[in-house]
A = this chain, B = another copy of it.
Amino acid sequence: MKIAPEKFRFAALAVDVPVYGLINGKLHGLIAPVNRPPHYVNVEGFLGGMVDAKENALEAAQRVLQEKGNLKDVYLEQLYTFSEVDRDKRNRVVSVAHLGLVRPDTAAAYAHPHAHFVPIQKLHDLAYDHDEIHRAALARLRGNITHSTIAQFLLPRHFTLTELQSLYEMILGHELDKRNFRKKILALEILKDTGRMQEGVRNRPAALYTFTTTKLQELPLIA
């Protein structure tokens, strides 16, 4: 395979990866300083980078997270391709954005000199078109959480039903009824009781659950 003729290769192909994770029970997004004078200084953005000649977009996203964020085992799915001519004021760069989700242990262990997790409400005025990417990512998350087991990629391996419900509430943006939520989610048989209990809490310890599957699973409809 050879490269395409010059006249078709005006654009650089990139990936941008909005990564979200729970920190102290709140949704955060991972951003890092962007420094590309003269257009982008004193500004932050999601992790991103160029796609290599020998990898597809998903592989590029994995590599970028590894290289620029020291992150492994991140759940990734393709989100949307941003191709506005001037989305990067320096050059024509087309970006295949991927949604990334990390579990709290990964997120907490994450200590990069530059990149850091910021509460999603504070993610604005980002570099390039990353505000738009952020909106698209949250919309995707909202759509997925009611139709799949995507929550499993944001929660620790063992979690309480209250933690799960709280995640749903944060993503959906409204409160849910505790009894109804439990009835519905348990009826789906996607969770199993580990038999273990919370420890070291100063109230009645909650039962710890885990997802029965490690893969993303489509669901009829929750919440």
Contact = CB atoms under 8 A, between A and B. Distances in A.
A121 B145 CA distance: 32
Chain A, interface size category, equals 20 to 34
Contacts of A51: 11, 83, 94
A57 interface: yes
> Which are the 10 A-B pairs with shortest beta-carbon distances?
A4-B12, A8-B12, A4-B91, A9-B9, A57-B83, A10-B53, A56-B83, A81-B81, A81-B96, A8-B50
A196 interface: no
Given A2-B91, A56-B83, 16 more contacts: A1-B86, A2-B90, A3-B11, A3-B91, A4-B10, A4-B91, A4-B93, A8-B13, A9-B9, A9-B10, A9-B12, A13-B94, A53-B85, A56-B85, A57-B94, A78-B81
A51 B82 CA distance: 13
A55 interface: yes
- State the majority secondary structure of interface residues on A: loop
Contact of A92 (B53, B80, B94): B53
Contacts of A83: 13, 51, 56-58, 96
Contacts of A86: 1
Contact of A1 (B13, B53, B58, B90): B90
Contact of A3 (B10, B57, B81, B96): B10
25 contacts: A1-B85, A1-B90, A1-B91, A2-B90, A2-B91, A3-B11, A3-B92, A4-B12, A4-B91, A5-B91, A8-B12, A8-B13, A8-B50, A11-B13, A11-B51, A11-B53, A13-B13, A13-B94, A53-B92, A54-B85, A55-B85, A57-B81, A57-B94, A83-B96, A94-B96
Contacts of A105: none
A192 interface: no
Interface string A177-216: 0000000000000000000000000000000000000000
